[in-house]
Amino acid sequence: MSEPRPRVLIVDDLEDNLDLLARRLERKGYAVSVASSGPDALALVDARPLELVILDVMMPGMSGLEVLERIRETRGPQELPVIMATAKGDSSDVVEALDKGANDYVVKPIDLDVLIARMRAALRAVVRAPAPPETEIVAGHQLDGKYALGERLGVGGFGTVYRATHVALRNPVAVKILHEHLLGSQQAIRRFAQEGVSACRVRHPNAVAILDAGTTWDGLPYLVMELLSGPTLQQELERERVLRLARAAEIASPLCAALDAAHREGIVHRDVKPANVMLARDATGVEVVKVLDFGIAKLLEPSPDAPATVDEIAGTPQYMAPERLLGERSDGRSDIYSVGVTLYTMLTGALPFTYQSDNVLVQALQQLRSTPRPLGVLRPDLPDDLVAAVMAALDREPQQRPSLLTLAGVVAEHAQTFEEPVWPPEVAAERSLAFDVTETGALVPRREPGSTRAERPAPRPESGTVAKRGDDGEGGDRDGGAGEANGR
């Protein structure tokens, strides 16, 4: 017995467009209804059990945005997805549509392959909404008879992390079980089983060690990693807000070295951000920077042969290169962009783009049509060469970005000679900021009158620190549990 055909409504006031798209989608296996006006569309939405609507923005009388508002009065985005079609060059109408509850958009003339990819993504969301509860995994369970699970250390966007013990060797490890909703097909599960260890394992002292991979008793993929202790860079930034250049260099050098090693092995991280940089401690208490979640973003994305949609791209948009936001093919240079955003954030306490939205599509559109705030405006005290290197890493064109080792070298060189501003680890209530804010919104590092020396940096967290759990506020994927969470 064949699968029922998805029921789609196309709304467009141009009859030729309507007829052509309807026939093309019918040939692709969709059951298509059509409407040439807003009122007709609303009548069909009320009368027929539809699964998706393709809605033209610009229509006479009742516009597509008005139709969308009426639909959202009774049907939510997961109940009835709406994809907006627009011929306008300005993306403001798209942003408005997404804010009003549209699931996605396409630009006219419509590329059928792109439209179908976005339709499939929207229909998958309907199938799993409301999402069934994921399998409950409790302490004491064993995976493959090899790993005994202990306490849950944290939950992030990619998976849930548990403390575990290798049954035979009695070694402590961390186990990350990937979220069920990220694996929307058997193809994705097979891909993880085939590529999991090789795609995520980077042989470098500053990359988290991947020890094993497998599947749970009900088919969920998992990774076994070294168990680490310490906070993430995200948690240090939440505490300190802005880092000294010397401290930023301490983190940037091993971060760039680990990514460079991965790129030489053909592995692109695709989700570099502070939450995936761990400030771990070794057995002697010495800090070791560890980069987490290598390769997972690639394994969770569609096949390279399929057009990607923004909501199918795994990662955090605020740290994502333009080519990644556009769903284009990307390489290691997209990681360089993400390192540039991370450096910018460490040195300013802010993101390069002021606009922030929880909607991934809106965030991506705003970043693609904007330019990052110049680092030198927020930190006029920093050396010009350093500012130029960080801003070059944020260049829209991948070929204009410096190499990772060049970027790290510039940061390290200036960190050795730069005269740090006063950075009191403990400040009086009336001087709770290490920066003054100018009339233009720039952060100017505060120096004590007559001071020529930088004060000692704030003390580092003690080994074994367990940081607070919770959302990182960036659409990111913190596992909480700091070092023992081993990955975001």
DSSP 210-275: EEEEEE-TTS-EEEEEE---S-BHHHHHHHHSS--HHHHHHHHHHHHHHHHHHHHTT---S--SGG
Report how far residue 91's alpha carbon sits from residue 370's, in angstroms, rounded to the nearest whole number.
11
Does 109 sit behind a cis peptide bond, omega within 30 degrees of 0 on the bond before it?
A: yes
CB contact at 8 A, 105 and 93: no
Within 13 Å of residue 57, how many CA atoms lie on the same side as its CB?
A: 23
**Rounded to the nearest 10 degrees, what angle do helices 245-264 and 404-417 cross at?**
160
Report how far residue 432's alpha carbon sits from residue 163's, in angstroms, rounded to the nearest whole number.
38
Q: In what order do the strands lie in the sheet with 142-143?
A: 142-143, 147-155, 159-166, 172-178, 221-226, 210-215
In angstroms and rounded to an integer, the radius of gyration of the C-alpha atoms of the chain is 25
Report how far residue 27's alpha carbon sits from residue 187's, in angstroms, rounded to the nearest whole number.
24
Whether 436 is catalytic: no
Burial pattern 37-63, b for ≥16 Cβ within 10 A else e, equals: bbebbbebbeeeebbbbbbbbbbeebb
Joined together, the tokens standing for residue 27 give 């040939």
The residue from 12, 93, 271, 293 that is catalytic is 271
Report how far residue 300's alpha carbon sits from residue 252's, in angstroms, rounded to the nearest whole number.
27
Report how far residue 13's alpha carbon sits from residue 107's, in angstroms, rounded to the nearest whole number.
16
Within 13 Å of residue 72, how many CA atoms lie on the same side as its CB?
A: 17
Catalytic residue list: 271
